[in-house]
Amino acid sequence: GWCPLSSAGAQTSQLLVKPPWRPAVLWDQVTLTCQGLGTTSATTWYKDGQQWEQEQRDHVLVTEGGTYTCDRPSTGLSSPVRVLDDPLVLQVPTWALLEGDTLTLRCRR
């Protein structure tokens, strides 16, 4: 699961991607979750730099490729996440890896 941000450590909103693979791909049924301070109803979503017409909630199911960000009033704009609409993609896991770890890649089409 995801750990919520603590008020002491929150500097910016965080945009989390599920499933946790990079790059994110549209056919993976990508869900974006915006974490930050304040109420979830205050979340504003942006797609390709334009405000995205979504209900003001903290998570969305992506149905189009593009670059997504979210904004929460108390913690500001998140870093962008790009969701590709490509037929063939080599993906790597988003979690931290150390030298010597086994790395699983996904090549899907």
Q: How confident is the model over 84-104, as pLDDT tens digits?
A: 998 888 888 877 777 888 888
Q: What predicted TM-score, i.e. pTM, was given to this entire model? A: 0.79
Virtual torsion, Cα 8, 57, 44, 17, nearest 10 deg: 70
Give per-residue pLDDT as tens, 52-69.
877 778 899 999 999 999
Measured at the CA of 1, the angle between CA 100 and CA 89, to 5 degrees, comes to 55
Backbone conformation region of residue 16, classed left if phi is above 0, alpha if psi is from -120 to 50, else beta: beta
Predicted confidence at residue 109, as pLDDT, reads: 66
CATH superfamily to which 14-108 belongs: Immunoglobulins (2.60.40.10)
Predicted confidence at residue 57, as pLDDT, reads: 86
- Specify whether the CB–CB gap between 75 and 6 falls below 8 A: no
Confidence check: pLDDT of 9 > 60: no
Domain chopping of the chain, boundaries: 14-108
* Averaged pLDDT, 17-38: 91
Predicted confidence at residue 39, as pLDDT, reads: 76
- Specify whether the CB–CB gap between 40 and 57 falls below 8 A: yes
Confidence check: pLDDT of 1 > 60: no
